[in-house]
Structure 1
């Protein structure tokens, strides 16, 4: 009996200590607000990595453009020898000497010196300090551009005024990013022309196609939206260069370029957009050495066709039996029901019926008085 009472007593004290321990370890939790519960539910249903990646945009642009080229000559004298049809330039003042110290026949992509024993008396000479002497040309420029940008969303002002809760729309208010582009300037004419002196005629280009690369930073502002249509002001600028094998990099100095465009954008889905972007771009470079320098200017007008991709916040459901097309919850996760290039929230929530529906016919019962047929709702049959 003593052994039995001791066992019962030990079990009583164990239960009492367990209860006391539970009472001491019990902590009251504060009630969550509706906004906190909503955010907690969003964290449970969506991946934070996907939400972060969705803020970035990948744009691919193909441009079709036209450029005008100008080569204004300053501080030099342009000379053509009629005997050997040689066109060259010398520093101003050298044209009056019997033999110039330096003369160059190529000032487009690298200075090419020519040996002039003397300037012939019948040579045609124009000093650029007495006349505006500019060689002109034109051509095509069709670059390919890749751009990565970060989106700042538009605030739903109506919802914020009604509830005080900050909720953001799917439309981008601002995009900040940068990119890289590749393209070639293809001159329409193999030689540049000027209007000052017909005897100097044309300057033969040593290269009629130059390959270029550009890197830039961009800012895009959405100033108008209506349904799936948006208008955005897009500005970017940066540095550019010509392929090293086509130019003397020791004598060239590139000026930064600037591009201004107006983007007309249509929305195919939250993750896929297309746009047309008319734009104007200015770029130039200077070829210079210790003796002289020549400037080369490009004004580019282009139409850019672009596609913009965003990383989807919600993945596609791999379970084939899930046929819901709207964004929906499945097994504790949020999914989208359609491809990224189609709208995610159509008014109907299911896919179209794949099987053919059975036909229904309605018998016609003739009225003896009016002798007219009337359709009555009826049964199944043919």
Structure 2
């Protein structure tokens, strides 16, 4: 009797296994009754959608503080009473130069009574100024494992301050260049890596390397620029699997040379800057949004042989794999009810 029972159980197990295999339909047309739609083989994510899901866009703004600084090796400074300082070459005091920040203008020098002259042959001469920046930055990158690589573009408003002498500040007056503000454009490549995680927070170190344009208020025909380097560390807050907020402090190295009208030494300008950017990133989802307008499912789900993401789950919340977590706290535990022992 026991042997017959064991044989019967074995036959039933084989039949159930066979029914499960036969219930795997390749498409919805093979399903004949509504229940069989649950057993339709689901289609995977398409190649284009899979590639697109690796792409992350970022947008940020913030504040920057730039230090403009240059030395005047090979030049001298003449300060006449009640006038702005001018440059001259030690061999020719009669020829003066002004506006050497954005474009050089040559004019005659007249040494007036009470004038002060200083030469870089005996003293280190230069001027320094502070400026503030308001950047608008857009990036696109691809992540693989903990590494990321991409590119970006930044459009910045820069407001210049007065330039003060680094030597003889009591005898050489400050001056304001003929350009008080300008817009700067940057284009760069970015590389980075995630180095530390704490719950929903991620620390990412990265570098931006590229070029920049100073705008039409600068005479680009006499300016020679190099590449710039921006090194930063971003703290990212993962709001969901697609959406992140971040704060990124960084320091930037850049500079340019401006040539004089005649042959001779150029003036090297440094414009290093500190930035604090605040922004957000968004990654394309792997799954398409559910096509059914009346569908209220909060988690990833299937209709027929296709899988979709929720229509109602916001991108700024993490999705619990079991129920979506759109409303993780019950009403009876919110607001004034949270202090009640038994609100109902």
What does residue 140 of structure 2 align with? 148
Counterpart-to-counterpart distance in 2, 1:152 and 1:60: 20
For the Cα contact (< 8 Å) 1:194–1:201, is it kept in 2?
no
What does residue 31 of structure 1 align with? none
**Is 1:131 the counterpart of 2:123 in the alignment?**
yes
For the Cα contact (< 8 Å) 1:184–1:209, is it kept in 2?
yes
Counterpart secondary structure, 1:213 = strand
Q: Which runs of 5+ in 2 are unaligned?
A: 1-40, 332-344
1:351–1:135: structure 2 CA closer, same or farther, 3 Å change rule? closer
1:288–1:62: structure 2 CA closer, same or farther, 3 Å change rule? same
The structure 1 residue matched to 2:208, chosen from 199, 219, 236, is 236
What does residue 47 of structure 2 align with? 48
Q: Which runs of 5+ in 1 are unaligned?
A: 1-40, 154-172, 357-382
The structure 2 residue matched to 1:227, chosen from 199, 220, 226, is 199
Counterpart secondary structure, 2:287 = coil
Q: CA RMSD in A?
A: 2.4
1:346 Cα deviation from its structure 2 partner: 5.1
Counterpart-to-counterpart distance in 1, 2:88 and 2:60: 43
> What are the superposed Cα offsets for residues 3-60 of structure 1, whole Å, 9 maximum, x if unpaired?
xxxxxxxxxxxxxxxxxxxxxxxxxxxxxxxxxxxxxx77x23222111101111110
Moved over 6 A (4+): none
What does residue 297 of structure 2 align with? 324
Counterpart-to-counterpart distance in 2, 1:351 and 1:213: 41
TM-score (norm 1): 0.69
The structure 1 residue matched to 2:317, chosen from 339, 342, 354, is 342
1:274 Cα deviation from its structure 2 partner: 1.0
For the Cα contact (< 8 Å) 2:318–2:325, is it kept in 1?
no
Counterpart-to-counterpart distance in 1, 2:226 and 2:182: 17
* Structure whose CA Rg is larger: 1
Counterpart-to-counterpart distance in 2, 1:86 and 1:326: 69
**Is 1:275 the counterpart of 2:246 in the alignment?**
yes
1:86 Cα deviation from its structure 2 partner: 4.8
Counterpart-to-counterpart distance in 2, 1:332 and 1:229: 36
For the Cα contact (< 8 Å) 1:139–1:185, is it kept in 2?
yes
1:1-382 alignment, distance < 5 Å: 44-82=43-81, 85-95=83-93, 100=94, 102-116=95-109, 118-120=110-112, 122-153=114-145, 173-187=146-160, 189-244=161-216, 246-289=217-260, 290-337=263-310, 338-345=313-320, 347-348=322-323
1:180 Cα deviation from its structure 2 partner: 0.7
Once structures 1 and 2 are overlaid, which stretch shifts more, 249-258 or 120-129?
120-129
Counterpart-to-counterpart distance in 2, 1:182 and 1:176: 21
Counterpart-to-counterpart distance in 2, 1:134 and 1:218: 34
1:347 Cα deviation from its structure 2 partner: 4.3
Counterpart-to-counterpart distance in 1, 2:199 and 2:124: 52
Counterpart secondary structure, 1:45 = coil
Counterpart secondary structure, 1:51 = helix
1:328–1:86: structure 2 CA closer, same or farther, 3 Å change rule? closer
1:320–1:198: structure 2 CA closer, same or farther, 3 Å change rule? same
For the Cα contact (< 8 Å) 2:127–2:163, is it kept in 1?
no
1:270 Cα deviation from its structure 2 partner: 1.1
1:293–1:351: structure 2 CA closer, same or farther, 3 Å change rule? closer
